[in-house]
Structure 1
Amino acid sequence: MKFPLLAAALLVAGCAAILPTARQHFDLQAHRGGRGLAPENTLAAFSNAIDLGVSTLELDIGLTADGVVVISHDTALNADHTRDANGAWLASKAGPTVRSLTLAQLQSYDVGRLNPASNYGKQFALQLPRDGERIPTLAALFDHVRARGAAAATVRFNIETKIDPTKPDETAAPEPMVRALLAEIDKAQMSGRVTIQSFDWRTLALVGQLAPQLPRAYLSSARTLKDSRWTAGLDAAQFASTPQLVKAAAGTAGGPVTWSPAYSDLTPVAIKEAQGFGLKVLPWTVNQRADMLRLMDWGVDGLITDYPDVLRDLMRERGLSLPPPGKASP
């Protein structure tokens, strides 16, 4: 009887030694730089996230009329957080498209404050305004992070190509956008710190062809999975599960692959299946503490959140390794 007891003791000890190591790499991603705390997709938000201490800055990109890669979630200027040169909120919900404006024209708008009368403003009422913030270029973000030196030496970038295949006139086509994005990444020598994500899986196929070493993240929602224009022509109904669909879309070559579903679409079974295929699972956008805890219990590899401060506190409570803060606590 001693041998089974000894084996059991060794097994328990082994698990105790393994678990902390496996938990060192939980990916804390600040959605749009952490828009619950600072104006979305601005240098102010990204700097705040670095100060707080996150693994990854999550952001979105588009192309201007003069071909500059800029950081913007919306394909058109959003009246909820955009003011003109005179300080007036845009009159219509959807302003001019990003692709119709030059960089100089785009940066004449102020995106440093939420319109308090908008639903967006009410949803993120605790967001601290930073008047004067402009839509930044991707190059400016890379320069900003580099200038932070050791404080931001390990932070990564999860960059979403904002393309809607159902509205092709609103954005650049996949290939010009991907080529412009890859050129900026190469110029900044940031390829070792970047993941490219998209709901439009055509862009991820192009990344796999043009820069196969780069990690890719396949975004999904119930809506996009119903339309093969989002999934690069693959019919989700022909696959037994979304992880199988993502595996097929990603193919066998290239760098690491992540599946990023809407968090409400996830189940423990789907997470286990995806990870069994070698996929990381990184759901979006998780803002409630209870949801964070449940998904962490289910074994996700990280979370995308508007409130990186809340997730960081939970990680601390659970004894997870924390990304180094860029600014020392008072």
Structure 2
Amino acid sequence: MTSQPPITIQRLTWLRWSCTTAVGLSLWCAGAALAFDAQGHRGARGLAPENTIAGFEQALAIGVSTLELDVVLSANGVPVVSHDTAPNPDITRDASHQWLKSRGRPFNTLSLDEIASFDVGRINPGSRYARDFASQRPVDGERIPTLAAVFKRVRTLRADHTRFNIELKHNPNRPHESPEPAEFVRAVLEVIQQHGMASRTTIQSFDWHLLREVHRVAPDMPLSHLSAQRERFDTLRSGVWTDGLKLASFEDAPSMVAAAGGKLWSPHFQDLSQPVLTRARALNLRVIPWTVNEIPDMGRLIDWGVDGIITDYPDRLRTVMQRRGMELPPAMELPNDKQAEGVPPPVREPAPFGVAPDLR
């Protein structure tokens, strides 16, 4: 490793606050001080089926401080955990155990029973997705969980240290596949409050209109402004994703986030440089990039001083953190019955390198 001059690492910490929302929810948001936030992306997508109970259990067994997950609404307005606004044929089998041939009907047109009929316990072996995530171990029979079911399972496992980073999935270019922002936000906030998870939750989205709606309803709910400046996915240029704001009107991405009222910025990790991070610090932004899967990238970003990392491979991130003498989140022991059911055991060593992260 090439020697480098010492870097002064500055990380912002969670603050304490109390909040009362406009929907009559009384919340005490007591964020614990976190020097570094190790987030398991969709649970532990590189190792276990994404956005499933088995995947979240795998992440907890490895040891993360935050479970990152995605939420959409069913036809009857129940928050369910899915990265896509419609069933993804790369990971979805129907009730007859056949792989979907194409994207299914949007989740906001499907009942809970219809959603529960899908098996999302493995990747279609003929897909590029399977090649990209060759280390993922299948858990056949895994279903798309409701957000409430995730909260209940975390409670049952007594993972009281674990936070949640919940992404509201809404594509402004496909508005018919998502509920209206007010309905979406209210449904998610109600489940968060019903399960007593307000003090442990951040809400994130690429669609900053939704974040504005969250702030209107629950002004003290922590928010994360997601962004991407990729060739095939640029959310900052047109204003469609960013509630009318356009990058051309600002000095840089951090100033754009600050103008939107952001306190936490989550950019694609390749959009981040040390000067850009320094600029974000000057604007008092916390910075947690996504989705960082290779050990050299993790090490570089940690040395720059990011506040956390979102990764498909929390085992690799723990290795990097341990090498630097950083405090590690607790690794949980799964109940014996879960091991017997085939949930992958915790991975203690880094998985093979070379997995390219896809766009969120």
| Normalised TM-score (structure 1) | 0.89
Amino acid at match of 2:189: L
Correspondences of 1:29-178 after superposition (within 5 Å): 29-92=39-102, 94-149=103-158, 152-178=159-185
Same amino acid, percent of matched pairs: 51
Q: In 1, distance between residues paired with 2:216 and 2:34? A: 31
Q: In 2, distance between residues paired with 1:31 and 1:153? A: 19
Q: Choose between structure 1 and 2: higher helix proportion.
A: 1
Tell me the CA shift for residue 171 of structure 1. 1.2
Any unmatched runs of 5+ in structure 2?
A: 1-6, 14-32, 335-345, 349-360
Q: In 2, distance between residues paired with 1:44 and 1:227? A: 38
Q: In 2, distance between residues paired with 1:66 and 1:20? A: 41
* 1:250 correspondence with 2:261: yes
Give the corresponding residue for 1:228: 239
The CA RMSD over aligned residues, in Å, is 2.1
Any unmatched runs of 5+ in structure 1?
A: 1-14, 252-256
Distance verdict in 2 for CA 1:299–1:90, change over 3 Å: same
| 2:53 and 2:142 in contact (8 A); partners too | yes
Correspondences of 1:254-293 after superposition (within 5 Å): 257-293=263-299
Q: In 2, distance between residues paired with 1:61 and 1:41? A: 9
Tell me the matched-pair count: 307
SS at match of 2:278: helix
Give the corresponding residue for 2:24: none
Give the corresponding residue for 1:189: 196
Give the corresponding residue for 2:352: none
| 1:20 and 1:320 in contact (8 A); partners too | no
* 1:215 correspondence with 2:234: no
SS at match of 1:96: coil
SS at match of 2:152: helix
Q: In 1, distance between residues paired with 2:331 and 2:64? A: 7
Distance verdict in 2 for CA 1:182–1:26, change over 3 Å: same
Kindly provide the CA deviation profile for residues 185-208 of structure 1, in whole angstroms up to 9, marking residues without a partner as x: 111111100000000001111111
Amino acid at match of 1:316: Q
Amino acid at match of 1:61: V
Kindly provide the CA deviation profile for residues 83-119 of structure 1, in whole angstroms up to 9, marking residues without a partner as x: 0111111122x12211110111011010001111100
Q: In 1, distance between residues paired with 2:215 and 2:275? A: 28
Give the corresponding residue for 1:301: 307
Q: In 2, distance between residues paired with 1:227 and 1:39? A: 34
Q: In 2, distance between residues paired with 1:235 and 1:82? A: 36
| Normalised TM-score (structure 2) | 0.82
Distance verdict in 2 for CA 1:296–1:20, change over 3 Å: closer
Q: In 2, distance between residues paired with 1:30 and 1:227? A: 30
Kindly provide the CA deviation profile for residues 204-243 of structure 1, in whole angstroms up to 9, marking residues without a partner as x: 1111111111110000011111120111111221110111
Give the corresponding residue for 1:9: none
| 1:142 and 1:188 in contact (8 A); partners too | yes
| 1:73 and 1:162 in contact (8 A); partners too | yes
| 1:24 and 1:321 in contact (8 A); partners too | no
Amino acid at match of 1:30: G
Give the corresponding residue for 1:7: none
Amino acid at match of 2:43: G
Structure possessing the higher radius of gyration over alpha carbons: 1
Tell me the CA shift for residue 276 of structure 1. 2.1
Tell me the CA shift for residue 272 of structure 1. 1.3
Correspondences of 1:3-42 after superposition (within 5 Å): 25-42=35-52
Tell me the CA shift for residue 20 of structure 1. 11
Give the corresponding residue for 1:317: 323
Q: In 1, distance between residues paired with 2:217 and 2:108? A: 23
Q: In 2, distance between residues paired with 1:307 and 1:297? A: 19
| 1:50 and 1:325 in contact (8 A); partners too | yes
Amino acid at match of 2:40: A
| 2:12 and 2:307 in contact (8 A); partners too | no
Which portions of structure 1, spanning 4 or more consecutive aligned residues, are displaced by more than 4 angstroms?
18-24
